[in-house]
Structure 1
Amino acid sequence: MATTPDARWHLTADPAEFLDRARPFLYAQPALNTALLTVADTLRTRGPHVYGGGDPLLGWWERGGRVRGAFLRTPPHRVAVSPLVPGDGPGDTDALSALDALDTLAGELADRSPELPGVMSDRATATAFADAWRRRTGAAATENLRQRLYRLGELTPPEPAPPGSARTATAADRDLLVRWHQAFLADLGQERLTDPGEWADSRLAYGGVTLWEAPDGTPVSMAGATRLIAGQIRVAPVYTPPEHRARGHAAAVTAEVSRAALAAGAREVLLFTDLANPTSNGLYRRIGYRPVRDYAQFTFTPGR
C-alpha cells in the first residue's frame, strides 16, 4: 500500500509532545482510547521507563491536516494502537485509509523494533496490524487474549451484599497488594508491565485500590481504579483469591469502586474483561456494565 502525500506517522519519545498533538483525537472517543490515555499519562507523570528499561515510542497518524490515529510502545512490551478500522466493506474509503496507516506503521516499527512481541487494540485493528506485520516481516501472529470493554450504565449493587464492608487500601496493605497483583497477572497468563511494588505505590498515592473485608477484618477481594483522565476512570484490576471466590465479594468491591469513581466526578466508568471468563462477564453485567467493543492481543513469533 502506498501512503498518500498528506498522510504520515509522526514519531516521538516524549509523552508530553504525544499528548499535546494527539489529545484532541484521543479525547474525541476517550473510552475506546482508555489504555493509551492511561499509559501516556503515566509516562508523562512518572517517567519514561516506568514500564521498562527501553525508551518509549509514541506516534500519531496525520492525514488531511488532522490526527486520525495514535499508537504507543513501552519496550519490551507490545505496541498499543488506537482503534482505526471502521466499516466492514472492502471499498470503504476510511477503512482503506486505516489499512494504509497500519501497513505504514508496521513498516516503521519493523525498521526500528524487529523484535516487536505483539499488538493490542480493538479486535479489527489488532487483526489488521497483525496481518500487516506478517506481510512485512514473515512473522507468525497468534491471537492469545480477547477482551471486552464495558461501560457502566446504571449501577446496581448486589443485593444482598456479602458480609463485610469496603475500605480504601493504605500503606499497611502494600505487601498484600503486591501479592494479589502478581496473582491476578498469573491468572490471566499476562506479562508484568510494571514492578509490582511500584504499581502498589502508585495506586496507594491516590487511593486507587478498594478492599472488601470480611466481618473479622480479613481482606477478601480488591478492585483498583485508574486516575481520572478525560472524564473517565477505568476499574482495574479486580482480584479475589481462590479461597474467597463465589461468595459475591468481587461484585461488591467492584460496585463500591464504581460508586467511588462516579463520586469522584467520572462521567464514564470503564473496565475490561477476559472473554474466556464467563463468570466475570456475567458479574459485571449484573451490576450495570454494558458492552462497548471487543479487543484482542496478538503475539508475534519470528519467521524461520
Structure 2
Amino acid sequence: MTWHFTTDPATFRAAARAHLAADPARNTAVLTMMDGAELLGWWTGPDGTVAGVLAGSPPPALTFGAVPVEAAAALVLPDGAEPATLRGETAAVEAYAGATGLSWEPAMGIRLFRLGELTPQDPAPAGRSRPGGTADLPLLCDWTADFAAVHRYEPQDDYTDFLTERITEGRLHVWEAPDGRPVAMAAVSRVIEGQARVHLVYTAPAERGRGHAAGVTTAATRAALASGAAQVLLFTDLANPTSNALYRRLGYRPVADHLGVRFTPRA
C-alpha cells in the first residue's frame, strides 16, 4: 500500500483511470484540476488497485478526491513537502492532519451536491439568462474577487484569464434583470468522465433575495446537461443556509461533506 506521484497528467490518467471513472462525483475536484496541477498522486491498495487520488497546486495546496482514511493518514509528499492548505472529504482531511501532527485551523466547511431531477423555481425569477461576454469582464472580475474573499479562497491579482476561458468556451452565464442590468453569474466546468460542476454562483449584493441565483444556477445546470453531463455537481458553503436550501429546491441532493484546513508551518 503506497502513494505514487507524478507531474504528468497523462501518466496520472493512465494509472488512475478506473478509480476516477468509478466515482466521478467524489473525484470531481481532482478531475477538473488535473490538467493544470503541479502534482498528482494516487494510492494503491494491497492488490495494486488504485483506491485514492489527489491533486496539488500552488501555494502549495492539496485537494483530495475519493481517498480512504488509511491512505490519507499514510500520505507523505515528495521531498518531505508539507501543504499550506488541504481540502477534501472531512474524514480523510482529519486523518491526514492528525497523522502529520501539524497545527491546523478549519478554513471552510463545504457540502458536495449532485443533481437529482432539475426543478426550476416556479414562478421563474424576473429576467433572463444569457452567455457572458468580454464586455462583462470588468464587472465579472469584481464579482469573482468578492466571491473569492467571501469563500476564503486564495486571491488572485487578476481574474481576466480565468473568466475569459469560461466566456470563450460558453461556460459562463449571466442573469440580467428585466431592465438589462447584469445581476448574477454562474459558470460550469467542462464535462470530464461524465460529470460537470456548477461553480462561481454569485449575485451582486444589492440584488440578492430576488431569485437571481436560482435563475442563473438553473441556466448553468441546463447547459451542463446539454453538454452531455450525466452527473451535475456543485459545492456549497455549510455556513450559508440560504444557498444550501436553494440548491435542494432546485433538485440537488447531498453527496458528502468536505473540510478545508490551513496548516501552521513547523517552527
Shorter-chain TM range is: over 0.9
Aligned length, in residue pairs: 266
How far apart, in 1, do the equivalents of 2:62 and 2:158 lie? 19
Match of 2:88 among 106, 121, 125: 121
Alpha-carbon distance change, 20 to 177 in structure 1, aligned in 2, over 3 angstroms: farther
* Maintained 8 Å contact 1:223/1:254: yes
Q: 140, 147, 153: which one pairs with 1:177?
A: 140
Shift of 1:150: 0.5
Using structure 1 for the length normalisation, give the TM-score.
Answer: 0.83
User: Amino acid of the residue matched to residue 74 of structure 1?
Assistant: S
Match of 2:204 among 237, 241, 249: 241
Q: Which residue of 1 aligns with 2:77?
A: 108
| Residue 65 of structure 1: how far off its partner (Å) | 2.1
The CA deviation at 1:278 is: 0.3
Q: How far apart are the structure 2 equivalents of 1:271 and 1:103?
A: 27
How far, CA to CA, are the matches of 2:114 and 2:173 in structure 1?
A: 19
Tell me the distance in 2 between the aligned counterparts of 1:146 and 1:17: 32
* Cα pair 1:26 1:33 within 8 Å, conserved: yes
The 3-state SS of whatever aligns with 1:254 is helix
Please give the residue correspondences for 1:196-275 in structure 2 after superposition, counting only pairs within 5 Å. 196-275=159-238
Cα displacement (A) at 1:205: 2.0
Match of 2:52?
69
Length-normalised TM-score, structure 2: 0.94
Unpaired runs of at least 5, structure 1: 1-6, 49-55, 86-97
CA–CA distance in 2 between the matches of 1:72 and 1:265? 25
Deviates more, 1:257-266 or 1:223-232: 257-266
1:215, CA displacement in angstroms? 1.4
Q: Give the structure with higher Rg (CA).
A: 1
Q: CA deviation at 1:83?
A: 2.5
Contact 1:142 1:298 in 2 (8 A): yes
List alignment gaps of at least 5 residues for structure 2: none
SS of residue paired to 2:42? strand
For the pair 1:12 / 2:6, whether they are aligned, the reply is yes
Q: Note if contact 1:212-1:221 (Cα within 8 Å) is conserved in structure 2.
A: yes
CA displacement, residues 186-240 of structure 1 (integer Å, 9 cap, x when unaligned): 1112213794111111111211111110111100000110011111110001000
SS class of match (2:52): strand
8 Å CA contact 2:9–2:40 kept in 1: the answer is yes
Give the one of 8, 32, 47 matched to 1:38: 32
What's the C-alpha RMSD, in Å, of the aligned pairs? 1.6
